[in-house]
Every structure is written in C-alpha cells, then in structure tokens.
Chains A and B, each alone.
Chain A
C-alpha cells in the first residue's frame, strides 16, 4: 500500500517532466504563488525562523536569571527580550505555524484543489510576514529619539498607560502596534479563507459530519478569530490614534481608562489561547487514531466539546484581571466560567484516552509527542483550574507560577503537538520521511528539557518570584530553582538543534515516503507526496469519515456503521 497510490486517477500521469528550473525562476514561483501548499510551507518556514529567534530571546532571559544579582544584559535589554519573546511567539510563531498547517492540509483533507480565495491567501501571508519584519525592524529603526530605546519593551500585553507617548517615547511601541495590526489583518484574511473553503469547497459526499476532526477544529478556531482578533485590531487602532493623533482612549490624565485596554486586550487574549490550542487538538485528533489503529472515539462529542470551548472561551477573559478589583460579581462570574471550560476540555482528554484504550499502539515519534501532550496538557489544565479561583489568583497573579502555567499549555501542549504534526505530515509535504532515530533524540531531550524548565518554574512562583524581574537578591531562596530552570533550557536548545538538523537532512536524504507511509485514512494520503499543484486530478467522492479505510477494506467499509 505504501508505494502505489491508493486512489487511482488522483494524479495526472500524462504530463512530461520539465527541465530543472533556474534559481530565479524558483524564487519567482514562490513569491508569486497562490497555491495553498506553497503558501502553507512559507507560513511554516517563516514561523520556524521566528521560533528560533524568539527561542534565543528566551535563552538570553534564562541566562540572565540563572544566578542571583546577575548583570549579563542590561535591564533595558531584558525588557525588550521578554516583550519580543512573547509577541513573537504568539503572533509570529504560533499563529503562522498553525495557519501554515491549516493552509496545507485543509484543502487536501476536503478533496479540494485550493483554498476558496487563493489570492487573498497570498495577500494574508505576505501582510502577516511583513508585520513580523516590521516588528524586528524596530531593532534598527525604533530609535526615534536619542536614548529612547529600540525594540518594544512594554510587555506582550502592553498595558496602558505605559504605552502612552509620555512613558514610551520613540517609535518602538509604534512598531509593536503596527506589526500586530498587520498580523491581525492577515489572520482575519486567512480565517475567512479557511471558513469559506470548509463551507463551500468540500468534495462530493464530504458532509459536515464526515469532515476530519482537524478540519472541524480549524473551522471553530477561525470562527473564534473573527470575534477575537477584531477587538485586538480595534484596540491597536485606538492605541495608534492615541500615539499619532493625540487621542485619549487610554490617556488616564484626560479621563481615559487603562482598565479598558486590559479588557480589550484580554477579550482577544484569552480566546487567542484557544485559537492556538484548538488546531493543536486537531493534530492530536488525526495522529492518535492512526497510531492506535482505531477510529477516533466519540466524534460527535469531540465536535460538540470544541463548539462548547469556542463559546465559553469568549466569556472568560477577565480571569486575567482578577487583581484589578472588578468586584465580587465579576470575579465570581469569571471564576465560574473559567472552571466550566474544564468540562469540554476534560471530555476531549477522555476521548483521546478511550481512543488509545485497546488500540494497537505504534510508538512513532509523532505518537510519542502526542502521548506526552496528553499528560502535559492535563497538568496545564489542573494549574489552570487552580488559577481560575480568584482568591488563589490574587496570591499568584503576576508570579512565575502563572508563567509556568501558560508555558505548560503553550509548550507542553501546543508545541508538542506541532512537533508531532511535523513528524506526521513532513512525509506528505516533502515526499521523504523524517529520521526516527534523530526524532527520538529530539523527543527525549526536549521532554527532559521541558520538564526541568517548566516543572521547576512553578516553585519560585509559589515562593513569590514576580515575572519580568530583571534580577533578584541572594537571600530570596529562588537561586537553586532558577538555576535548574535555566539548565533545562540547554536540553531544549540541543533538542531544537536535533529537530532542525533532522528537517534539513531528511529533506534531501530521508527515506522516500510514498503517498501513504502511515497507512492512514484521510484524503491527503490519497494523492502523491508531495501532492501535485492541482492536488487531485479527479475530485474524489467520499462515503464515510475514513475514505481511505473504505478503499483499503472494501469488504467492511466505515459507511456501514455511520448513523
């Protein structure tokens, strides 16, 4: 099954191979492309570059904090590092890498030839990429005023009134605002494109109830993008009006409200966490069943839980603001709403475990990352429930406990499934397998590094270490814990090195994958690896949720069991 195409007629065998193109032609083809696969790969490549950059910024922070009374970098540089690290990781790593996979996979999984609006797709990519370049150009061009500092240094949520012209002179904050504004425009464009593709371009027979769960999760994610990223864009416009035109939205001296910025930012900020994590769930939903050799357990419950998460996540934002003093009514509401969101999330974890249960599990590297994700996401959810109780949050808000909690989600859950997605879909994207031995090195080193860093980061938080401090005194009792946390970073850096080396080496020297190396069930595995420009020469027709299972097992097709 691995070498021959499962779907006859999926690719056009009649066209003759062309001569090797010139480098300039290749460059021209990539810059002008509207093909969803190339755009998806560009998203992923651009996100990987920013992942390395933002990772190095984290390394600088951990070196600075490794021992007490350290002065490796200046306090100003430290402020820039945590601002740029957070902003980059959320807007220029997390979002583009997830949209990259979405762009690449959704049309293939739906049996479509491209996204609904290919040119809008290219526009969204380039405008978002330009936003990232603008943010980093601040290192060169942000110095609008002598000594005012270059890169943004206002923190990733840029609370007012620190962002006012008086407190942040120069242009660094303008670069932050404009970079995010552009990224937001690109994000909304891509989300619009994905939703339209899912509604309007499904192949015959691909009913909503037969779509792969990954597609469902992207659908909900993109609907959330509309209602979450819009407010962020609006808030950035307001901040620009304040900074450029002398407006007073967040100018406390003219009656403006700093708390309003917090509300607007977190109305975006909390759904954003789910926007990042739902596609990651989508990866797990595809990978866990294939390597358990079972259909996903509870497909309708998974969809319903996702929709529930989408709705509830819109009403939890003020749990980031318990320390503001919103009053008992608001505190109670947001505590309860935040706790309720654990219910649909728990349903998902039960479904994944039920899928694993009794399965014929194959521990490929992709599956190992997914299993680690299950445990780590559970822990991240448990500390999340702790923090959702507002009295507990009053104690630990703004401490390293919170930093450890959200890194457990962002790294332990999201980044782990993204790595799983790389090992799972790299063969489809490049035509070659990633090396499993190097992959296991990557997995174990990263797992050890992750747990050294983020397990032990909870402890200085409980001991009262605030986030964003530049350094700390000897007698605080945080020194040992910070040293362990920083040591974990070494493992993570080596692991990322293995991963990048694996990507580069396997791209040219990896084992040829064939169209369907994992014996999987969704439509992307029915065409060649890498897929031809047109994806499918003949648009397929499907009769169940696992079209390739039906094809491989005509005696016992899934369609017999569907309600």
Chain B
C-alpha cells in the first residue's frame, strides 16, 4: 500500500485562484509603498519654510473624485455582465469606466497646470510641492496604468476576443481598479481635507 498514490487527483481538492492571490499580494505591497508616501506627506505638513501652502492653492477636486469613485461601480458591473456572458454590456461598462477614469485624470492635469502656471508651485518649490506632487503623482501613475489595462480589455471586448471564460481575469483587473480608488479615498482625505 503506498500513501503517495499516483492515481488521478481528488476532485474535491480545490485551492484559491492564483490570479486573486497574486493581486491580493500586489495590493499589500503597493499599500506599503503608498503608506510611506502618505506618512511623508503628513510628516511634512506645515514644515515648508516658504509658500505657497496647501490652504492657499488647493481646491477640492469634487467632480474628479465623484467620477473616480463611481468608476468602481461601473467596473464591477462590467465584470458582472461578463460573468453572465453579456459581452456587449460588458464593453459598455468598460467604456464608461475608461471615460470616468479619464475625466479624473483630466481634472488632475488641469489642477497641476493651474498650480504650476498660476501659483508657481513645482516639485522644487518647497516641501509641500515635493510631497504633494509625488503622492498625487504616484496615485495618478496607478490610474494611468489601470486605464491602459482597462482600455486593452475594452479593445479586446470590442474585437470580440472576450468571453465568459475571461471573467476571472477581468475580475483581477477590477480588483486593481478598486484598490486605486481606495487609495484615492486616503489621498483625498489626507491632502484635501486634513491637510488643507
């Protein structure tokens, strides 16, 4: 009798999907990176030795925030549609997600343009400039990466290359997007509410 059997594997032996575990690990590691940037932002609040200060120049980006947070809902709906094999509905929701994310990014671009050209705040100006641009910029980089991947998914969906079988992968992407949104909640609270 051998206890290391070579018969076919037990069908009841199921383990978590590697995509979900992988993205969870990535989220933990990325969170650690963001925490350090948030800590640096909070640590340097009010320590700039010259102006401008957050209170002088920052406006609360309400529209961008609403767009970004609601894009979490649309990407969720896209995954749900794909699970029911409604590819056209899925592409519609993906397009909505990309659109909402782009509006957020455009809002950030406009904000930075005003800060640089009207208020003269750059990354070299003072500690506020350094910490603000790096924290918001790090988040915006993640939004850009997410948008590139969502656009790819949308293109594949429009070309008819996406089916119900890909729902697991789209789910992984949606988790990344939810993470980017959750980070924005923290960045928004720290930069635009507590720090102003």
User: Residues of A with Cβ closer than 8 Å to B?
Assistant: 6-10, 116-117, 188, 191-193, 195-197, 199-205, 223, 225-231, 233-235, 237-238, 241-242, 245-249, 254-257, 260, 264, 267, 526, 538-544, 547-548, 550-551, 554, 557, 559
Pick from A8, A237, A256, A550: contact of B6, CB below 8 A: A8
Contact B15 A201 (CB under 8 A): yes
Contact A230 B36 (CB under 8 A): yes
Given contacts A202-B15, A234-B37, A247-B123, contact A229 B29 (CB under 8 A): yes
B9 to chain A, nearest CB (A): 5
24 A-B interface contacts by CB (under 8 A): A7-B6, A117-B22, A192-B26, A200-B15, A201-B18, A225-B29, A229-B29, A234-B37, A235-B36, A237-B134, A238-B37, A241-B123, A241-B130, A241-B134, A246-B123, A247-B124, A247-B130, A255-B126, A255-B127, A256-B44, A541-B5, A551-B2, A554-B3, A557-B3
Chain B residues with CB below 8 A from A542, complex form: 3-4
Contact A248 B126 (CB under 8 A): yes
Q: How far is the CA of A7 from the CA of B3 in the complex (A)?
A: 10
Q: How far is the CA of A227 from the CA of B29 in the complex (A)?
A: 6
Q: How far is the CA of A355 from the CA of B26 in the complex (A)?
A: 37
Chain A residues with CB below 8 A from B15, complex form: 199-202
Chain A residues with CB below 8 A from B33, complex form: 230-231, 233-234, 237
Q: Could you mark each residue 10-39 of chain B with 1 if its beta carbon is under 8 Å from any beta carbon of chain A, else 0?
A: 100101111001100110111111111100
B35 to chain A, nearest CB (A): 8
Q: How far is the CA of A544 from the CA of B2 in the complex (A)?
A: 12
Looking at chain A's contact residues, the main secondary structure is helix
Chain B: interface size category:
35 or more
Interface contact tally, CB-CB below 8 A: 152
Contact B6 A538 (CB under 8 A): yes
Contact B47 A226 (CB under 8 A): no
Pick from B7, B25, B28, B32: contact of A196, CB below 8 A: B25
Q: How far is the CA of A197 from the CA of B25 in the complex (A)?
A: 12
Asked whether B43 is an interface residue with its Cβ less than 8 Å from the other chain, the reply is yes
Asked whether B114 is an interface residue with its Cβ less than 8 Å from the other chain, the reply is no
Contact A230 B40 (CB under 8 A): no
Q: How far is the CA of A235 from the CA of B36 in the complex (A)?
A: 8
Q: How far is the CA of A542 from the CA of B2 in the complex (A)?
A: 10
Asked whether B1 is an interface residue with its Cβ less than 8 Å from the other chain, the reply is yes
Beyond the given pairs A199-B18, A231-B35, A246-B124, 17 more chain A to chain B contacts, judged by CB atoms under 8 angstroms and listed by A's residue number, are A7-B6, A116-B22, A195-B21, A200-B17, A200-B21, A204-B10, A227-B28, A230-B35, A231-B33, A237-B134, A247-B124, A249-B131, A254-B48, A256-B130, A267-B36, A541-B7, A543-B4
Asked whether B62 is an interface residue with its Cβ less than 8 Å from the other chain, the reply is no
Asked whether B194 is an interface residue with its Cβ less than 8 Å from the other chain, the reply is no
Q: How far is the CA of A554 from the CA of B34 in the complex (A)?
A: 53
Q: Could you mark each residue 106-139 of chain B with 1 if its beta carbon is under 8 Å from any beta carbon of chain A, else 0?
A: 0000000000000000011011001100100010
The residue on B at minimum CB distance from A231 is B36
B20 to chain A, nearest CB (A): 8
Please provide the 8 A-B residue pairs with the shortest distance between their CB atoms, ordered closest to farther. Answer: A230-B32, A234-B36, A550-B3, A246-B124, A247-B130, A9-B6, A204-B13, A200-B18
Chain B residues with CB below 8 A from A267, complex form: 36
Chain B residues with CB below 8 A from A8, complex form: 6
Pick from A197, A230, A249: contact of B130, CB below 8 A: A249
Q: How far is the CA of A538 from the CA of B1 in the complex (A)?
A: 18
Given contacts A237-B134, A257-B43, A260-B40, contact A554 B22 (CB under 8 A): no
Chain B residues with CB below 8 A from A264, complex form: 36, 40
B123 to chain A, nearest CB (A): 5
